[in-house]
Structure 1
Amino acid sequence: MTVGIVMLVHTALGRAEQVARHWAAAGCPVVIHVDKGVPRKTHDAFLAALSDVKHIRFSTRYRCEWGTWGIVAASQAASETMLREFAQVRHVYLASGSCLPLRPVEELIDYLAARPKTDFIESATTADVPWTVGGLDEERFTLRFPVSWKKNRYLFDKFVEVQRRFNLKRTMPNGIVPHMGSQWWCLSRQTLSAILQDPERATYDRFFKHVWIPDESYFQTLARQYATKIESRSLTLSKFDFQGKPHIFYDDHLQLLRRSDCFVARKIWPHANRLYEAFLTDVAGAMKKTEPNPGKIDRIFSKAVERRTRGRAGLYMQSRFPNEDWENGVTAAPYSMFQGFTELFEDFETWLARATGARVHGHLFAPDGVHFAEGQTAINGALSDSPILRDYNAEAFLTNLIWNTRGERQCFQFGPADNQKINWRVAKDPNAQVSVITGAWAVPLFRSNFNFADIRSMAAALQKRESDHMDVLRSPYTKARVRIWTMAEFIEAPMEPLQGILDEIGRTKLRRLSEAPRMVDLTGFGQFLQNLKNQGMHPYLMGDFPVELGIEAPQKPPRKPYLVR
């Protein structure tokens, strides 16, 4: 008794010939189905090339298109040829032209001989199948699919929509329970012949012809009717990505495939010469005898899928960049954004860099350019100080800056006059620490020498932009660490909020602050705000700021009277 190999071939016929000879040389009869889409000339040349091999046959040709009945019909025809032509076959192994034996064929023969009545076919109910991709589980059986999904996706979707709207459903024939699984199976002669010779086969075939992707359900369902012992697994190693597309194995997967201990793997790249040379070898150079265990490499594939779909935190790559909220972390490291501090303190950037050891930038998103720390014109990652390049994609500029300076805390200044396109990106970033003194944008206007009419106009515009920004920072979707003070409440007691900022940044060189950065002279600022009010512009973001400067030297308490004796 031996194992019969059914091969479904449609491309890379040269490799298919090489593998077919390998199976046949080990004593396995081979029946090959060549897709009807293969040109007649190519097909005839393929037949002629294998005409010298005694135990190779060819079956009736069908057009095999993904998701349609042709693949099942091809498997049926080739299996019938196998059972009819080779009476000594006990198990039939379904493979494709891109499958590659990973272990000596003799080991597969011995393995199946020790399990003469066991069927190896992945077979699970739709409720238990976690790998269906495309939104159709039970509906692939209850609806009809008369057109190809690949050739005419519009009509396919319309047929589904109409059947759902009018509740047009089919029932499984004879009450059988639908099962699904990998199309690559190995069935015993007894089970396979029972499926192909079933008196109800015409009924089942008629039903499954209008099932979506029937090659993943026809044999998987009917095997449950006749098999005495099913192992719900495939002996073929086949891996799929998160979109349901099969992984292709290349030369650099050699050691990975060795570790799997599987008998067969698909899909192999036709030009993977090293793989074909390594595995189509003699017994002495093959792998050790052991139970197939594809689970040993599942962790690697899981990591590959995670890397492709989620990537590394703060790194935007081709596979997920167009998809909103697919990022695995908005940015790569914690950073701090300060709004209103450089306007209120004269030497804030120098003081903060000295106190924390962080790299403290100016206004990175200022209209006139990127104000890098220490006046640099370029920074890690070849990020330029050009505002044109920055504003082409301001959000990407920020994420690139944080990614390229990992290991060093980045701090930068921001304000309502800057590019506001990064507001939501920062607000939704858990790595962001945002500290805002609202209304501080008015200090440069107060100290400027512009015409008051121009000041009033600029103040109204800046206040509107900062108000919109505060709405973003107070949004329920905000994930950043946000602290907001009005200018009036901040200048009453600046030491406590400054200490909190340093504690949160960490790596501070000071246990407790003994002095704050030098505050600008605000004498007359209250009257300036009152003047804006008098002109019809109401500056409300500063808080309750008195007309007279509220920062006054504490008055000495009056001396107590005393008597002189």
Structure 2
Amino acid sequence: MSSVGFVMLCHTALNRAAEVARHWAERDCPVVIHVDKRVSTGAYTGLQTALSDLGNIRFSKRHKCEWGTWSLVAASQTAAEVMLEDFPDVRHVYLASGSCLPLRPVEELRDYLIARPRTDFIESVTTQDVEWTVGGLNAERFQLRFPFSWKRHRLLFDRYVEMQRAVGFRRKIPEGLVPHLGSQWWCLTRQTLSAILQDPARQIHDRYFKRVWIPDESYYQTLARLYSTRVESRSLTLSKFDFQGKPHMFYDDHLHLLRRSDCFVARKAWPQANRLYDTFLGPDHTGSQMAEPAPGKIDRVFAKAQERRTRGRAGLYMHSRFPNQDWENGKTCARYSVFQGFKDLFEDFEPWLSRRLGVRVHGNLFDPVRARFAGGADVYAGCLPASAKLRDYNPQMFLTSLIWNTRGERQIFQLSPRDNQKIGWFLSSDSNVQISAITGAWAVPLFLSNRNFSEIRKEAAMMQKREVEFVNTLRSVKTRADVRIWSLAEFIEEPMENLQSILDAMDGPSAPRLTEAPRMANLDGFGRFLQNLKNQGMKPFVMGDFPATSTETHENPGGSRPYLVQK
């Protein structure tokens, strides 16, 4: 009666493998089990004892199996030979693992295969047509030799590959073979499988594939093309892989997805997924009445889950992506603005901007003493501390946390060459930030201070150096931020127009026109101050042109709007 037999490759969770093997054997499907030689003798003997009452179960010669090596092919060959010899009624041989779980009644699989007596179900594609491998070698796996284990001897593996590439080594592929790749979980007809195993050229084929990398993904996939009269390049086993090429594990909460797939077998089921095993191995389980296996039904769900894992939500960092630079989906989650130099030039810039926009405006968040949150808060949204020590442990994460914790409210803060400069590169690479900078404005507080000139000169040199480095970063071709830069001289020529352009970029073209500007610092004598710096050996140039005697700036005594007076 039997038309399909199962070859099982087991190495762990033998209790679950025993359940599945019994499920198939009790429904007149022969099972040949290969158990990894690394499994203890006690565990192996226990599995044999647990299934000893079933006359259609066999155990094949054991091989010590390791991922990516010939041993996995040898294990399947040995078990398949037992299947073909001991069970002549088997017309299809289905390769499964010990972690595979039947999803549909065996009767449906048997009827499905009887209706397709000469069809081999094995994913088989050429390396030229589809490059489906993830993070590994593609065509080179057939052209080079791989005598070393990738897992146990990674250094030797890599060095040997590099050496072969350097000398231009290429293996000769046996005549008549066109290398193919595909899933290692197949269902082959007796005719095709016996032709592969009994081929007079098998010794040649085996010798060649023993030095191919991951031969269980290419041996049967290549040789089936020589002998099969009809290849369906797909697997009847549902096997999903993540973006790193690692197989997905199915848990109890995947029950409805597995039902929707209409596949006959799923790999791999979590050994503790009691609900899955109880449901699909239970006596009351019904199938899909000859429905065609359709793993594509759940592809969208897995694709969405993979995108969430690899890209996530914009500006949200999590353990699956955080250790890898540039894996984030956007540096931050929302638009925000940074002003450099405005607080130095205008006496009441922060309260003015807060009134104008109707939002809270922070001071210098990266001040070396503490984070200057709006209102002088010691702790801000999401329990972000004002502590400079905690903030500077990871300035980038401090900023991204602030933007994430305040979603829906535009964050605005001040920046200065006096602040922690480690945030500069991050800001320049963030497409969400609008940066407005007045170069040289840091000199205004120095000009208005009552300090020794030698101290002023030393600090001015340091500030200018820092600002030049920051501006060069902002002007890099890799910058993604929305950047506006003026020299101090350029900005004070048209302060209202320049402020209006910044606010238009924040509020859009419908933003109302400015009727007042923040009060500008009195710059009378600023040109002479810069000349004195030059005379003392420091060359200030980021401020623009401030003649020592010709042009000075005054405050309007009748209001807060600044204007220029020519002397």
Task: Give the structure-1-normalised TM-score.
Answer: 0.95
2:6 corresponds to 1:5: yes
Per-residue displacement from partner, 1:153-187 (whole Å, max 9, x unpaired)?
Answer: 12212222222222222111123101010000000
- Equivalent residue runs for 1:138-177 within 5 Å: 138-177=139-178
Counterpart of 1:129 in structure 2 is 130
How far off is 1:359 after superposition?
Answer: 2.7
Cα distance between partner residues in 1 of 2:169 and 2:463: 60
Q: Deviations over 1:340-399 (max 9, x none)?
A: 101111111111112122331000001111100111111111110001101111111111
**Residue 433 to residue 288, structure 1, CA distance change in 2 (3 Å):** farther
Checking the alignment, whether the CA contact within 8 Å between 1:313 and 1:331 is kept in structure 2 is: yes
What is the CA-CA distance between 1:325 and the residue it aligns to?
Answer: 2.0
Instruction: State the SS of the aligned residue for 1:173.
Output: coil
The whole-number CA distance in structure 2 between the counterparts of 1:194 and 1:361 is 76
1:61/1:74 contact within 8 Å kept: yes
SS at match of 1:6: strand
Q: Deviations over 1:423-448 (max 9, x none)?
A: 00000111110000111101111111
SS of the aligned residue for 1:241 comes to coil
Distance 2:110 2:271 in 1: 26
Q: Any idea what the Cα deviations from partners look like across 1:131-174, whole Å, max 9, x if unmatched?
A: 21344112111111112111111221222222222222211112
- Taking the aligned partners of 2:168 and 2:521, their CA distance within structure 1 comes to 74
Q: Secondary structure at 1:128's aligned position in 2? A: coil
Indicate the residue corresponding to 1:98 in structure 2.
99
Distance 2:285 2:70 in 1: 42
Shift of 1:222: 0.5
Alignment partner of 1:185 is 2:186: yes
Which of structure 1's runs of 4+ aligned residues deviate more than 4 A?
Answer: 283-289, 507-510, 552-557
> Shift of the alpha carbon at 1:193?
1.1
Match of residue 373 from structure 1: 374
Is the contact between residue 332 and residue 406 of structure 1 (CA under 8 Å) also seen in structure 2?
yes
Counterpart check, 1:351 vs 2:352 = yes
Aligned residue in 2 for 1:562? none
Q: In 1, Cα distance between the equivalents of 2:343 and 2:39?
A: 72
Offset from partner CA, 1:282-322 (integer Å, 9 cap, x none):
35544554211111111222222222222221122222222
Provide the rounded CA distance (Å) in 2 between the counterparts of 1:147 and 1:536. Answer: 66
Aligned to 2:530: 529
* Residue 348 to residue 509, structure 1, CA distance change in 2 (3 Å): farther
Which one is further off, 35-44 or 229-238?
35-44
Select between 152-161 and 272-281 the one with higher mean Cα deviation. 152-161
The within-5 A match list for 1:262-341 is 262-287=263-288, 289-341=290-342
Superposed CA RMSD in Å reads: 1.8
Is this contact kept in 2: 1:33–1:74, CA < 8 A? Answer: yes
Q: Does 1:468 align with 2:458?
A: no
Aligned residue in 2 for 1:47: 48
Q: What is the match of residue 560 of structure 2? A: none
Q: What's the CA shift for 1:514? A: 1.0
- 2:553 is paired with a residue of what secondary structure? coil
Identify the range of structure 1 (515-524 vs 328-337) with the bigger mean alpha-carbon deviation: 515-524
Paired letter, 2:553: I
Deviation at 1:232, TM superposition (A): 0.1
Are residue 239 (structure 1) and residue 201 (structure 2) matched? no
For the 8 Å contact 2:279–2:285, the answer to whether it is kept is no
Contact conserved, 2:552 with 2:564, CA < 8 A, in 1? no
Aligned to 1:544: 545
For the 8 Å contact 2:523–2:552, the answer to whether it is kept is no
Distance 2:284 2:82 in 1: 29
| CA 1:52–1:346: 2 relative to 1, 3 Å | same
Shift of 1:418: 0.4
> CA offset at residue 59 of structure 1?
1.1
Q: Which residue of 2 aligns with 1:408?
A: 409
- What is the aligned partner in structure 2 of residue 383 from structure 1? 384
One-letter code aligned to 2:55: K
Q: Which moved more, 1:166-175 or 1:72-81?
A: 166-175
Q: Is 315-324 or 367-376 further displaced after alignment?
A: 315-324
Shift of 1:452: 1.3
Q: Which moved more, 1:392-401 or 1:231-240?
A: 392-401
Alpha carbons 1:60, 1:78 under 8 Å: kept: yes
Alignment of structure 1 residues 199-278 onto 2, 5 Å: 199-278=200-279
* Aligned residues of 1:3 and 1:91 also touching (Cα < 8 A): yes
Instruction: Say if 2:148 and 2:157, in contact at 8 Å, map to a contact too.
Output: yes
Q: 1:405 deviation in Å?
A: 1.1
Structure 1 residues 546 and 18: CA distance shift in structure 2, 3 A = same
Q: Which amino acid aligns with 2:227?
A: Y
Identity %: 66
User: 1:452 matched to which residue of 2?
Assistant: 453
Q: Gaps spanning 5+ residues in structure 2: where?
A: 557-562
Separation (CA, whole Å) in 2 of partners of 1:373 and 1:101: 61
Change (3 A) 1:132 1:288: same
Further displaced range: 307-316 or 343-352: 307-316
Once the two structures are TM-superposed, the CA of residue 547 in structure 1 deviates from its matched residue by: 2.4
Contact 2:143/2:171 (<8 A) preserved: yes
Alignment of 1:435-446 (within 5 A): 435-446=436-447
Deviation readout 1:216-266 (Å, 9 max, x if unpaired): 001000000010111000000111112111111111111121121111001
Name the CA distance, whole Å, in 1 between partners of 2:266 and 2:565. 89
Q: What residue is the counterpart of 2:432 in the other structure?
A: 431
1:535 Cα deviation after fit: 1.6
Structure 2 CA distance for partners of 1:264 and 1:476, relative to 1, 3 Å:
same
Structure 2 residue 84 is the aligned partner of structure 1 residue 108: no
Structure 2 match to 1:364: 365
> Equivalent residue of 1:363, what SS?
coil
Distance in 1 (CA, whole Å) between partners of 2:423 and 2:293 is: 52
Asked if the contact 1:356–1:509 (Cα under 8 Å) also holds between the matched residues in 2, the reply is: no
Q: Give deviations 1:448-485, integer Å, cap 9, x for gaps.
A: 11111111111111111111111111111111111111
TM-score by length of 2: 0.95
C-alpha separation in 1, matches of 2:289 and 2:331: 46
Paired AA for residue 535 in structure 2: N
Quick check: 311-320 or 440-449, which moved more? 311-320
Identify unmatched segments of 5+ residues in structure 1: 558-565
> What amino acid is the match of 1:417?
R
Cα gap change, 1:363/1:83 in structure 2, threshold over 3 Å: closer, same or farther?
Answer: same
Q: Per-residue displacement from partner, 1:325-349 (whole Å, max 9, x unpaired)?
A: 2221111111110001011111111
Secondary structure of 1:210 counterpart: coil
Tell whether the 8 Å contact from 1:357 to 1:507 is kept in structure 2 after alignment.
no
Q: Is the 8 A contact 1:129 1:180 kept in 2?
A: no
Aligned equivalents of 1:372, 1:327: Cα separation in 2: 26
Partner of 2:501: 500
* Cα displacement string for residues 502-559 of structure 1 (whole angstroms, at most 9, x for unaligned residues): 11111799511111111122222222222222222221111111324433688999xx
**Secondary structure, aligned partner of 1:551:** strand
Distance in 1 between the 2:440 and 2:301 partners?
53
Distance 1:126-1:31 versus aligned 2 partners, 3 A rule: same
| C-alpha separation in 2, matches of 1:244 and 1:169 | 26
Measure the CA separation in 1 of the matches of 2:564 and 2:298. 77
- Give distance in 1, aligned partners of 2:35 and 2:469: 65
Tell me how many residue pairs correspond in the alignment: 557
Secondary structure of 2:243's partner? coil
CA distance in 2 between counterparts of 1:26 and 1:43 reads: 24
Aligned in 2, Cα 1:461/1:223: closer, same or farther, shift over 3 Å? same
Q: State the secondary structure of the residue aligned to 2:306.
A: helix
